[in-house]
Amino acid sequence: MSRFDSITLQESARHYRIRGGIWEYTLSRASGLIEQASVRGQPWLARPVPDLWASGAVDPRPDEYSARHAPDAQARLVSASPECVLIESEGRFARVDGALLPLRWQLRYRFDEDGTVQVDVTVGALENTAIRWLSLGRGMVRRSACRFITHETDNGEGWATCRPASHDLAEGDYEAGGRFIPWLHFGSDRGGLDIVFPHSDRSFWGWTDTCPYPTGDPLGRPGDRMRLGASQESAHWEAFAFRNLYEPLPEGWSYFDTFYLSLLPGKEMPPSANDLRVWWMGPHQYVSGWRHPDESKIAEWSAAGANLVIGRANWRSGDYSHPDHPDEAARFIETCHRYGMKVIPYITFTDMEFGAPAFDRSGREWRIEPVAEFNYRSHLMCYGAEGWQAHWEKEVVAFWKALPFDGLCIDFWAGRMVCRNDRHGCAGPHGRFNAAGLRRMARFAHRLVSERNGLIVANCNIMPIAMLNNYFDVRLLGEWHNLEETESLTTRLFHNAHRYGSGNLLLVGNIPRLTEKTLALTEAYQGPQVMSHARTPEERDLLSRRARLLASFGIDRTEALNVFEIPPLPGAEGVQPSLYRRPDSGETLLTLSRPVPGDAAVSLSALSGFFQPAGEASLIFCPETGQLIGGRALGPGEIGKMTLDIPGESLRTLWVRPDPDHPCLLCTLSGNLRPDAQWDEAQKQLAFIVEHPALRQAEIAVSDTPAAIYAGEEAVTIQSSGGAAIACVPCNRRVIVQY
């Protein structure tokens, strides 16, 4: 089943309203333009889009003919389904005083399930005329909504992509421009609006010698076919089809271009995406003689707390229908399932290895140019090559039908999304930006894995484009950089997965040594780290213990808020909060991170609003110290008197649960949800079983100080401290805690 809500369409005499769960567009029937775009209740547009305009004047500013002034605009519904709504509109270019230009515009809107709109623009000449300026429209974003801007750098100055320039608007105004800026993103900590322009061959510019304008362009900055920026009043963008270029147009002349407008996020994150405890297996590329790990290794990963294995059958990229040892791969997946772990293979959207049969037939036709090789063994295929798309889909379907995988981990080269290979239609002075082709592949993958309620993990790094990210369940970050050295705006923009409607997963290979500082940095934005054999036992244990704690709480059943969604704590500078809340049990897991040196003391009066039900007493357990705050259940008036010490470059977690008025099981670090514990008032004892398919014993914490703990006839050692007791108990055996 798709993660997206079905699209609903409401028609009135004035508007079409197109809604898909958390996003909504309003299109005016009078103007034929999109009047508003909202996500999570936040409206983003300050004026209609696309605000097309044209002019034949040397200086267009006093002589603009725009679509929004069309006296004869019409809009009509073409079709509507739960996944797509098509609307067309048309009209004449007109000045504000009603004067007409002999040009007609036509717009075709395709509203998709994820909040992305494909906008096809056609402009036609009704008679012989001439123009100098044709703009695909100014867009204006509400300044109250926009907190930062990020955009691709000018591809007119180089062929690489995913080189974002980012600006925090709290630091002042901003202006930028260039020949070909394929994507623009206006954002906040809750969501965003972005625009993608795929084509560099459909816009033209001129420079005028011997003219009164110092730059040769009355608007300045000659050759800037794209502009964006922000002031105190608004954030804005503009894209030109013709800029300062005299163009005689014969009757019947026609111009066509396409761009995309997207709201972010297109869906809310599924709670299951919070609970990622990943063992990274690999390999990425074909390895001669490689075999799947045996059951003892699988049990080891399960015991470490993993619930997801990322790896694959041994196949060549782009030739997924021919894995080595498919029977062995099927047995491996089945064994992982028995140990409570899902398995998703590692594939790519773009690589095809030289050994794949299709490479000799079609590699030259499909590849990205300028050509890029990986490790002298593969070429990157272009996302915009329809032949490659069809081949990739066929290959993925083949292994998906043959093997019971639980989803896909998909890599793609965000740095190579522009191609100049005209054999498959990539043309223009700066190539074609192929987000639309990659979107087709991502959408196909989403629909495929939805058949099994599966998961898509995408190695998208710092690529924020909504028309892609909306189809991913989890963003995989960290391959390109050391997460501990990431500057704050980058973290806010690209690591806050909630604004993408997805979960986070972090590759930590670029961090020299994993410490509690790593957990403090990444827990603030709720980014679990992958575990693997490549780390020391101490580092693996650090990640494993954290993973098992989150599993015990049941974060796959929670409402989650990260540091970007929680107001700063009063009197706690440098302390970063994040929380998980269980609506079903009333429990809260609140983490306070201090990634900088120097200890801090936080008054719990600043925290009580996160977890204190009105009038109820709570148990507040700190797993790192093994103690109950205050040594017992605290009433509403007592919590504010308490303080919590947080060491520098570390973190403290508070597990808060309503006081049950009797001793209780606080947590079980097994890698599974804390089991139900039965309290026998007459016998003064708790009884429970910590179930796990691989773990021999698990650390537990109980409230109060028990007289004894037994597993069968065997007495268990107890460590009591601060109103709680810690013990290691055997798994899969009945445990009695006697008071």
Rounded Cα–Cα distance for residues 431 and 417 (Å): 10
Say what the pLDDT of residue 640 is. Answer: 81
Alpha-carbon distance of 518 to 119, in angstroms, equals 43
User: 476: burial class by Cβ within 10 Å (0-12, 13-18, 19+)?
Assistant: buried
The secondary structure of 79-132 as a DSSP string is EE-SSEEEEEEEEEEE-TTS-EEEEEEEEEEEEETTSEEEEEEEEEESSSEEES
pLDDT for 263 = 97
Do 153 and 181 contact (CB within 8 A), yes or no? Answer: yes
Distance CA 387, CA 385 (A): 5
Question: What are the strands, taking DSSP E only, across 583-628?
Answer: 587-594, 600-603, 618-622, 627-628
For residue 571, what are its two tokens? 């009197």
What residue type is 96 in one-letter code? Answer: V
pLDDT recorded at residue 613: 64
Q: What is the pLDDT of residues 397-440, one digit of tens each?
A: 999 999 999 999 999 999 999 999 999 999 999 999 999 999 99
d(CA 715, CA 708): 7
Type of residue found at 67: A
pLDDT value of residue 297: 96
Tokens of 405: 């995988």
Query: DSSP labels for 274-303?
Result: G---EEEEE-SS--TT-----HHHHHHHHH
CB neighbours of residue 537 within 10 Å: 8
Q: 100-112 and 116-125 as β-strands: parallel, antiparallel, unpaired?
A: antiparallel
CA-to-CA distance for 93 and 50, rounded, in angstroms? 13
Is the pTM of the predicted complex or chain greater than 0.75? yes
Token digits of residue 659? 């006081």
Q: What are phi and psi of 717, to 5 degrees?
A: -70, 135
CA angle 332, 355, 378 (to 5 degrees): 95
Residue 519 C-beta-side C-alpha neighbours within 13 Å:
22
Which tokens sit at 476?
């995989």
Q: In what order do the strands lie in the sheet with 503-506?
A: 278-282, 308-311, 342-348, 407-411, 455-459, 474-477, 503-506
For residue 246, the number of C-alpha atoms closer than 13 Å in the C-beta half-sphere is 4
Segment (H or E) for 361: helix 357-366
Our measurement of the distance from residue 554's CA atom to the centroid of its chain's CA atoms, rounded to an integer in Å, reads 22
Sheet bearing 378-380, strands edge to edge: 351-353, 378-380, 373-374
- Tokens 């011997």 belong to which residue? 210
pLDDT under 70: residue ranges of the chain: 1, 283, 611-615
Do residues 529 and 522 touch, judged by C-beta distance below 8 A?
Answer: yes
**What is the rounded distance in angstroms from the CA atom of residue 737 to the CA atom of residue 680?**
10
Looking at residue 367, the DSSP 8-state letter turns out to be B
Gap between the Cα atoms of 60 and 593, Å rounded: 55
Closest CA to 442 of 458, 465, 423, 425: 458
Phi (first) and psi of residue 308, to 5 degrees? -150, 130
Other C-beta atoms closer than 10 Å to the C-beta of 631 total: 12
What's the alpha-carbon Rg for the chain, to the nearest Å?
A: 29
Q: Which residues share a beta bridge with 435? A: none
Q: Beta-carbon neighbour count of residue 661 at 10 Å?
A: 9
| Burial of residue 209 (number of CB atoms within 10 Å: 0-12, 13-18, 19+) | exposed
Number of H helices, E strands in the chain: 11, 54
Sequence-ordered list of residues with C-beta below 8 angstroms from that of 556, at least 6 positions apart, any chain? 271, 272, 274, 275
Give the residues across from 103 on adjacent strands.
125
* 8 Å CB contact between 180 and 226: yes
How far is residue 693's CA from residue 711's CA, in Å, rounded to a whole number? 18
44: CB partners within 8 A, 6+ apart? 36, 37, 38, 141, 142, 145, 146, 186, 193, 263
Bridge-based pairing of strands 74-80 and 51-55 is: unpaired
Residue 76 corresponds to which amino acid? R
* C-alpha dihedral sign at 272, 276, 279, 281: positive
Contacts of 12 (CB under 8 A, 6+ apart): none
- Residue 86, number of CB atoms within 10 A of its CB: 15
